[in-house]
Amino acid sequence: MLHSLTLASRTPVLIALILGVCLVQVGNGILQVLLPIRLAEAMAPPLAVGAVASGYSIGFIAGCWAAPWLIGRIGMVRAFGAFALLAGAVTVCLEVLPNPWAWTGMRVLMGMSYVGMLTVAESWLAARAGPGARGSVFSLYMVACKVAVVGGQMLLASPDLPGAWLIAAAAVCYALSLLPVAAVRELPPSMTAAQARMPWRYVRVSPVAFVGCLVIGLCNTAVTGIGPAYLAGMGHSATVIAVIMSGVQVGSTVVQWPIGRLSDRRDRRLVILALAGTSAATALLIAAAGGASETILFVLFTLWGSAALSLYAICVAHANDHAPPGEAVALSSALLLSWALGAALGPMLATLAMECFGSRALFVYVGAVSGVLALFSAWRRWRMPQQRDPPAPQRP
């Protein structure tokens, strides 16, 4: 009861942080679809298109190193404001300087800004949610982010909105994301500059969480990026592909919160083990199904998405359960770096496997990598059975 009252007192802070990130995700949803379309309309060379896409990833990885340093010096709210305003200003420049090579540099800055805002929000959420509710809070956070991204992408469905207006809308969303965060009256968790340590020093905090974030990047980006091409190679129409791929997002959105609630009541390593095992088994079933009926593929893809896309929230919650006091910022940045490295390598490794062994190797690769996470989680649970997640705090 006391824990429920404590969490309720923190609810305004949690809502403000989630709302701020949702505004960021609306802007991201717009640009994820709009920029490739604009490049295609301008008939940009493939090298330029690839450079723009890679620039964002490079900025994301660089931001994982830079964000804790900046946050440690100027504080969470000021850092979030700096990142939000930088993202908004750079987004406006996309319209002012419509050159693919200029866009590459801008996307580097946007990637840095994005990971900086996520680092602030996720570390603050972890510090304020408490161990007994982290799974639930991060699950709701992930669901809200997915809905916001889709909402941003749906704005492009309106033929009455020109590209300049959409870019302006994205810039406004980035700038407005500062408002709910700046309006929080509660002081954010403190962090000194000395605590912005090398990210990989945090692997020992929770090896399962770090391996989990790496595997999520290796697998999820491969399926979401290459999955449509895989289905097209099986002879499915664009409409069928869209329906099947939507099952990935729908499945994870539906089960994310119940899984988060479950992880608050059980050893999170067991939940990670179950999700990784389900992801591995379902991926291998998709590979074996081949050209199965559309209904079977939709069910399998939905089941895979329900498990694979729900892992991140549980991994972040598990890592923060064992974080050293006052170091949630650097830990969140390190987890994002682990995911980013996996996301950069995943599509390349998957396409290499497909070139060597055929298209079905995509899901054999996903199943094998997910299986490694399941086995590692089981091994850690067996080696350290007493490392339980801390109980919910009992505060007056």
Lowest mean pLDDT among 35-39, 255-259, 264-268: 35-39
For 133, phi then psi, to 5°, come to -135, 5
Q: How far apart are CA 349 and CA 356, in angstroms?
A: 11
What gap in Å lies between CA 356 and CA 59, rounded to an integer?
A: 31
Tokens of residue 363, six digits = 């899901």
pLDDT at position 396 is 30
- Residue 172 is given by DSSP the state H
Domains and CATH numbers, the chain: 1-182 (1.20.1250.20), 197-387 (1.20.1250.20)
Cα angle for residues 327, 117, 162 (degrees, 5° grid): 170
**Which is more confidently placed, 172 or 158?**
172
**pLDDT > 90 in the chain, percent:** 27
Residue 177: its pLDDT value, please?
93
CA distances from 160 to 32, 37, 69, 169, 253 (A): 19, 16, 43, 14, 30
pLDDT band at 151, cuts 50/70/90? confident
Alpha helices in the chain (DSSP H): 2-41, 46-74, 76-96, 100-129, 134-154, 163-176, 178-182, 207-233, 238-263, 268-289, 294-308, 311-321, 328-357, 361-383
Dihedral sign, Cα of residue 143, residue 148, residue 151, residue 153: negative
d(CA 310, CA 146): 11
Of the candidates 94, 127, 87, the one whose C-alpha atom is nearest the C-alpha of residue 111 is: 87
Name which residue leads in pLDDT, 266 or 4: 266
pLDDT at 358 over 80: yes
CB 193 within 8 A of CB 73: yes
State the pLDDT confidence band at 355, using cuts at 50, 70 and 90.
confident
The Cα 109–Cα 119 span in angstroms is 15
Tell the residue number behind the tokens 């301008």, with chain if given.
Answer: 42
323 pLDDT higher than 80:
no
Confidence (pLDDT) at 190: 67
What's the chain's average pLDDT?
A: 82
Q: 395 pLDDT exceeds 50?
A: no
Q: Kindly report the CA angle at 230 between 369 and 104, in degrees rounded to 5? A: 80
Mean pLDDT of 175-190: 84
Average pLDDT in the 343-359 region?
85
User: pTM, whole model, 2 decimals?
Assistant: 0.80
Question: What dihedral do alpha carbons 46, 50, 52, 56 form, nearest 10°?
Answer: 170
Q: What is the pLDDT of residues 263-319, one digit of tens each?
A: 888 888 999 999 999 999 999 999 998 777 888 999 999 999 999 999 998 998 888
pLDDT greater than 90 at residue 19: yes
